[in-house]
Amino acid sequence: IDMNNIPLNKTVQLMKGNSKRQKKVVDFIKNADLDMDDFVYLDEEHFRWNLGEFEKEKPEEKALDIPEQFMEQIRLCSVYHGVPLPSVLFDSTGTKKIAALASYIIEALEDGRVLVIDELDSSLHFKLTRAIAAMFNNELNRSAQLIFTVHDINLLDCKKLFRKEQIWFIDKDQAGVYLYSLADFTALKGVRDNSDILSKYQKGIFGAVPEPELIKSLLDLDIHTGNQGE
């Protein structure tokens, strides 16, 4: 799954039904601490677009036909203070991603599947990303597996959440791209189970740290340095 383009269809289909898994998806979304009362799918009988004012202002224009697939997504509503609002129109990017991701996570955990997510931390608070990882790195999980990429270095915590062999780095140079595990750095190299991995990474011990030189681009810009108002 690409976190920047998560298909919403799976969550839509689950929310249209009335299964036990639907309730688990809703509970997951609510337990993510998004400050919503509920997450619901409103069928056509309960969902109406009020075009009255629009038609009065522009009587010569016809209402656009909205594809059914998009209408199904609009019917997914977050409920705030008792008021259902279409999630795709009113929620933040992070909330919409959690709503779309929920069905995949619940399905993977219950069916023992492998879930692969690119840039899991995209638009999510690091505590939420950590909480998702902890659902899979948990003794209650028997067979499901989560493989994900992140840029958030706050997750470099092998003392509490991950084992060393679960953390991998990707580095690249003009010669190629390299994938290697934190477990490759042994105690002989100064990396122990109780080491501060985050601090060592920031110091460049593990590599995979970009060295941007954007100051060169800044120096090449024709920037007006005079005081405003002169």
What's the whole-number average pLDDT of the chain? 84
What domain range is 168 assigned to? 164-210
The answer to whether position 100 is within a domain reads yes
Number of domains in the chain: 2
Helix (H) or strand (E) holding 38: strand 38-41
pTM (2 decimals)? 0.82
The answer to whether position 138 is within a domain reads no
- pLDDT top residue among 171 and 228: 171
Classify burial at 83, counting beta carbons within 10 Å of its beta carbon; exposed 0-12, middle 13-18, buried 19 or more.
exposed
- With a cut of 80, say whether residue 65 has pLDDT above it: no
- Give CA separation, 172 vs 5, 177, 189, 207, in Å: 25, 4, 22, 10
pLDDT, tens digit, for every residue of 116-130? 999 999 999 999 999
- pLDDT top residue among 103 and 193: 103
Nearest-angstrom CA–CA distance, 190 and 152: 23
- Helices 93-111, 9-16: axis angle to 10 degrees equals 70
- pLDDT top residue among 230 and 90: 90
* Average pLDDT of the residues in 65-69: 63
| Residue 97 and residue 189 in one domain | no
| Residue 23 and residue 88 in one domain | yes
The answer to whether position 36 is within a domain reads yes
| Residue 13 and residue 107 in one domain | yes
The closest of 192, 110, 98 to 143, measured between CA atoms, is: 110
